[in-house]
């Protein structure tokens, strides 16, 4: 099996699209870091000769940073080569920093004190240091497999070319972590254990119907599924890593939040949940006091729920029921006018305050801000297990569960007292997975805020 290194990624063997995508994302983070470093340097230099500009100190810092950022981009300081060879970025960053200080001085917006240029040189050195550190992190992460798609190859009587071809290519962005035979249940078990995000099913044409049926069954996995006829000249075509090939040469299933999309979603989760947790802390403190004063028992209610990849986790909520009547397994759903719910519990459930402790679940990584709502492990719909009542139910577990979701902002809240309600929720959750983007998440968060304020049906 070939192991990718940072240097091999920068060679011509690496597909240009993959190299550009990685360079764009890493350099976007570095450009933000550079702006922070430059603002600190300019702020330090402005204290050398205060009062010599008609603009405020904040305005001078902002203008200089904007000028630096534009010049740095024009000088091509943010490319894959400057990321993998940091010394090539030093003269460009130094020139951009010095030119930005010179421009603001010539425009009468900045002091001409020599310290300004000394700070510019220091900023360039700090930027070089950040790139050296980033390069070290990238080497470590690539050697550990970060940035790769973990693949499982299922051989259903094909020539075995998919696994050997994918393993022999160092620049395709895919790492084959396991291979299995035609037993679909065994393949699903291996895929869950290895936490793969791509399954390749290779089969001869005469077994193509079996392969497509297997792919349909494997859609419950949090992975993209590709069916590859063993007569293809290049198995990479089925993954969109080579030239386009016409249907029905390959067929793939599903859209996932994976790779760099998963990294973007994780950043979104940390930023949004951290911000809400900070802003809502007085409300959470008041809710905890009210719960403790009204009835005996713990403030936080813990319950096992089904999460990503059908793994269970412990979800946290403010306790809204009498402690002696709480249902830890979730076998009995909460209905309108439920006598187990306390007076404080009715209020915090109606306003969704009871869900706020799940922000900690989000920060710890077991949940996301937006995603399908997690259900208790013993929950039933009209006496039936949820996956039996709605066959598409396991598809919800292809992403992390969320505090809110597309189903909730479309009116699917409260008790699931019919199979039709469950099926509608599953359909909306699957639609969310297929449509996912950061912008879609932010739209759902905004709609959730409006729902909390205006929804009269919650209980």
Every domain range in the chain assigned CATH 3.40.50.2300: 149-253
Distances in Å between the Cα of 25 and the Cα atoms of 78, 174, 264, 393 are 10, 19, 10, 34
Q: What tokens were used for 441?
A: 């998440």
Radius of gyration (Cα) for the chain, nearest Å? 27
Residues in a beta bridge with 199? 152, 225
- Contact predicate 156/214, CB 8 Å: yes
Q: Which residues contact 391 (CB under 8 A, 6 or more apart)?
A: none
pLDDT value for 119 = 67
Helix (H) or strand (E) holding 369: strand 368-370
Q: What tokens were used for 81?
A: 């080569």
Residues in a beta bridge with 341? 321
pLDDT value for 15 = 40
Residues in a beta bridge with 227? 201, 251
Q: What tokens were used for 414?
A: 């409260």
- Contact predicate 236/169, CB 8 Å: yes
pLDDT value for 211 = 86
| Ordered mean pLDDT values, 10 residues apiece, the chain (459 residues) | 31 41 62 74 60 56 74 74 74 78 60 59 75 70 61 79 64 74 89 84 84 85 79 46 33 54 82 90 93 90 88 91 75 75 89 92 92 87 81 84 92 81 90 88 90 67
The pTM of the full predicted model, rounded to 2 decimals, is 0.61
Closest of 389, 214, 390, 374 to residue 307, by C-alpha: 374
- Using the 8-state DSSP alphabet, how is residue 376 labeled? B
CATH of 149-253, one of 3.40.50.300, 3.40.50.1100, 1.20.810.10, 3.40.50.2300: 3.40.50.2300
Phi, psi of 285 (to 5 degrees): -65, -45
Dihedral sign from CA coordinates of 340, 345, 347, 350:
negative
Closest of 241, 221, 216, 40 to residue 126, by C-alpha: 40
pLDDT value for 35 = 75
pLDDT value for 237 = 43
Report how far residue 357's alpha carbon sits from residue 20's, in angstroms, rounded to the nearest whole number: 39
Q: What tokens were used for 147?
A: 């940035």
Q: Which residues contact 248 (CB under 8 A, 6 or more apart)?
A: none
Phi, psi of 370 (to 5 degrees): -120, 135
SS3 42: helix
Report how far residue 182's alpha carbon sits from residue 203's, in angstroms, rounded to the nearest whole number: 9
Q: Could you tell me the end-to-end alpha-carbon distance of the chain, in angstroms, rounded to an integer? A: 55
Print burial letters for 211-228: b (CB count within 10 Å at least 16), e (below 16).
bbebbeebbbbbbbbbbb
């Amino acid at each position: 099996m070939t192991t990718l290194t940072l240097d091999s990624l920068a060679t011509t063997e690496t597909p240009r699209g993959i190299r550009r995508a990685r360079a764009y994302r890493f350099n976007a983070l570095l450009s933000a870091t550079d702006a922070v470093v430059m603002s600190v340097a300019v702020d330090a230099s402005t204290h050398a000769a205060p009062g010599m500009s008609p603009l405020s100190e904040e305005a001078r810092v902002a203008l200089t940073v904007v000028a630096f950022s534009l010049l740095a981009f024009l000088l091509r300081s943010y490319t894959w080569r400057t990321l993998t060879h940091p010394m090539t970025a030093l003269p460009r960053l130094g020139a951009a920093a010095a030119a930005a200080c010179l421009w603001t001085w010539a425009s009468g917006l900045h002091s001409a004190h020599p310290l300004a240029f000394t700070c510019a040189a220091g900023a360039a050195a700090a930027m070089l240091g950040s790139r050296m550190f980033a390069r070290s992190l990238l080497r470590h992460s690539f050697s550990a497999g970060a940035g790769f798609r973990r693949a499982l190859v299922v051989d259903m009587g094909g020539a075995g070319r998919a696994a050997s071809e994918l393993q022999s290519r160092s620049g395709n962005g895919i790492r084959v972590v396991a291979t299995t035979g035609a037993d679909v249940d065994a393949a699903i078990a291996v895929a869950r254990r290895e936490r793969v995000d791509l399954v390749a099913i290779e089969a001869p044409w005469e077994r193509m119907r079996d392969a497509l049926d297997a792919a349909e069954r494997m859609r419950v996995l949090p992975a993209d599924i590709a069916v590859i006829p063993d007569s293809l000249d290049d198995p990479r075509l089925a993954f969109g890593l080579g030239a386009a090939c016409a249907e029905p040469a390959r067929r793939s299933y599903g859209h996932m939040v994976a790779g760099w999309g998963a990294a973007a979603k994780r950043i979104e989760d940390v930023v949004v949940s951290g911000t809400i947790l900070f802003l809502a802390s007085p409300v959470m403190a008041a809710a905890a006091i009210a719960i403790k004063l009204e009835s005996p028992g713990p403030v936080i209610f813990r319950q096992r729920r089904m999460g990503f990849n059908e793994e269970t986790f412990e979800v946290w909520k403010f306790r809204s029921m009498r402690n002696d009547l709480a249902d830890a397994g979730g076998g009995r759903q909460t209905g309108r006018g439920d006598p187990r719910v306390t007076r404080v519990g009715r209020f915090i459930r109606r306003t969704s305050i009871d869900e706020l402790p799940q922000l900690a679940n989000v920060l710890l990584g077991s949940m996301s801000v937006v995603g399908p709502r997690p259900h208790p492990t013993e929950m039933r719909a009209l006496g039936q297990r949820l996956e039996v009542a709605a066959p598409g139910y396991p598809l919800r577990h292809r992403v992390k569960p969320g505090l809110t979701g597309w189903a909730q902002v479309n009116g699917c809240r409260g008790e699931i007292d019919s199979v039709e309600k469950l099926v509608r929720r599953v359909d909306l959750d699957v639609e969310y997975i297929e449509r996912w983007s950061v912008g879609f998440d932010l739209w759902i968060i905004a709609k959730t805020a409006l729902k909390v304020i205006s929804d009269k049906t919650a209980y």
